[in-house]
Amino acid sequence: MSKKTIHLIAAARPNFMKIAPLCHALKKEPWAEPVIVHTGQHYDLNMSDAFFRDLNLPEPHIHLGVGSGTHGEQTGGVMIAYEKVLEESKPDLVVVVGDVNSTLACAITSAKLLIPVAHVEAGLRSFDRTMPEEINRIVTDSISDYLFTTCEDANENLRREGIPHEKIFFVGNVMIDSLLKHREKAKKSKILERLGLYRAESSRLKAESLNGSKAQLTDSLIKHYALVTMHRPSNVDEGETFRCILEALERISHDIPIIFPAHPRTRKQIDSFGLSDYFKDSTNNESRITGNGIYILDPLPYLDFLHLMTDAKCVLTDSGGIQEETTILGVPCLTLRKNTERPVTVTEGTNIIVGTNPKRILEGWFSIQRDGGKKGKIPNLWDGHAAKRIVDILMRRIKKNI
Amino acid residing at 170? F
| Buried-state track 86-114, b at ≥16 Cβ within 10 A, e below 16 | beeeebbbbbbbbbbbbbbbbbbbbbeee
| Domain 4-173+382-398 identical in fold to domain 189-371 | yes
CA 38 to chain centroid: 17
Helix (H, G, I), strand (E, B), or coil: what is residue 168? strand
**Can you tell me the distance from the alpha carbon of 9 to that of 320, in angstroms, rounded to the nearest whole number?**
19
What is d(CA 169, CA 174) in angstroms, rounded to the nearest whole number? Answer: 13
Helix (H, G, I), strand (E, B) or coil at 61: coil
Q: Which of 19, 59, 14 is nearest to 41 (CA)?
A: 14
Q: Confirm if 227 and 309 have CB atoms less than 8 A apart.
A: yes
- How far is CA 65 from its chain centroid? 21
> Exposed/middle/buried for 287, CB within 10 Å: 0-12, 13-18, 19+?
middle
pLDDT value at 257 more than 70: yes
**Contact yes or no for 105/37 (Cβ under 8 A):** no
- Residues 380-386 have a mean pLDDT of 98
Quote the percentage of the chain above a pLDDT of 70.
Answer: 89
Look up the CATH architecture of domain 4-173+382-398: 3-Layer(aba) Sandwich (3.40)
- pLDDT at residue 350, rounded to an integer: 98
Higher pLDDT, 170 or 216: 170
Provide the mean pLDDT of the chain.
90
Go through the chain and tell me how many residues it has. Answer: 402
- Residue 217 banded pLDDT, cuts 50, 70, 90: very low
pLDDT of residue 402: 52
- 94/85 Cα distance (integer angstroms): 12
- pLDDT of residue 172 exceeding 70, the answer is yes
The reply to whether CATH 1.10.10.10 applies to domain 189-371 is: no
Q: Which of 231, 263, 307, 385 is catalytic?
A: 231
Percent helix, strand and coil across the chain, each to the nearest 5:
50, 15, 40
Average pLDDT score over residue span 333-339 = 97
Q: How confident is the model at residue 44 (pLDDT cuts 50, 70, 90)?
A: low
Segments making up each domain of the chain, as ranges: 4-173+382-398, 189-371
Q: Work out the number of other CB atoms within 10 angstroms of the CB of residue 156.
A: 14
The reply to whether 231 belongs to the active site is yes
Distance between CA atoms of 257 and 263, rounded to whole angstroms? 19
Taking alpha carbons only, the member of 97, 92, 105 closest to residue 139 is 105
| Distance between first and last Cα of the chain | 13
